[in-house]
Amino acid sequence: MTPFGAKLRELRRQRGVTLRQMAEGLGVSAAYLSALEHGKRGVPTWFMVQRIIAYFNVIWDEAEELQRLAEASDPRIVIDTSGLEPEATELANLLAARIRGLSKTSLRDLTFRLRAAAAKDGV
């Protein structure tokens, strides 16, 4: 499941909306929404995210969070380290090899540390 898919499911559950009801409201198939929630589809288009925002009638912070989560939810990401420092290639390979074995706590910790390092370096 992607971060966007998890948020989508959370919004549906909070509002008591079934997958089928939401699909009908958005004019898409329930299979498409299910695949989107489970990370079996790529990143939703900006237009689709806007339709979901309107469907749930969310504003400001929650709408921005949905858009940010959509952008960070590509389930098949490729990291190109050509031309970067050797440490970047090592990090990318280590993450690719070990990500499936990491706990939710470890994943959150690594995400926090990477965001902090990027902010420190102005990235």
- Confirm whether 41 is domain-assigned: yes
* CATH number of residue 8's parent domain: 1.10.260.40
- Confirm whether 48 is domain-assigned: yes
Token look-up 């921005």 returns 64
- Confirm whether 79 is domain-assigned: no
Residue 65 shares a structural domain with residue 92: no
- Confirm whether 29 is domain-assigned: yes
- Confirm whether 80 is domain-assigned: no
Domain of residue 20 covers 3-71
Instruction: State the number of CA atoms in the 13 A half-sphere of 7 facing the CB.
Output: 20
- Confirm whether 81 is domain-assigned: no
Residue 26 shares a structural domain with residue 59: yes
Chain centroid, CA 31 distance in Å? 18
Query: What residues have CB less than 8 Å from 74, skipping those under 6 apart?
Result: 2, 42, 43
Give the residue from 95, 67, 68 showing the smallest Cα distance to 79.
95
Q: What's the N-to-C CA distance of the chain in angstroms? A: 27
Residue 60 shares a structural domain with residue 93: no
Per-residue pLDDT of the chain (123 residues; tens, 9 = 90+): 889 999 999 999 999 999 999 999 999 999 999 999 998 888 899 999 999 999 999 988 999 999 999 988 888 888 999 999 999 999 999 999 999 999 999 999 999 999 999 999 998
Chain centroid, CA 77 distance in Å? 11
Residue 61 shares a structural domain with residue 90: no
Q: State how many domains the chain has.
A: 2
CB 57 within 8 A of CB 29: no
- Confirm whether 76 is domain-assigned: no
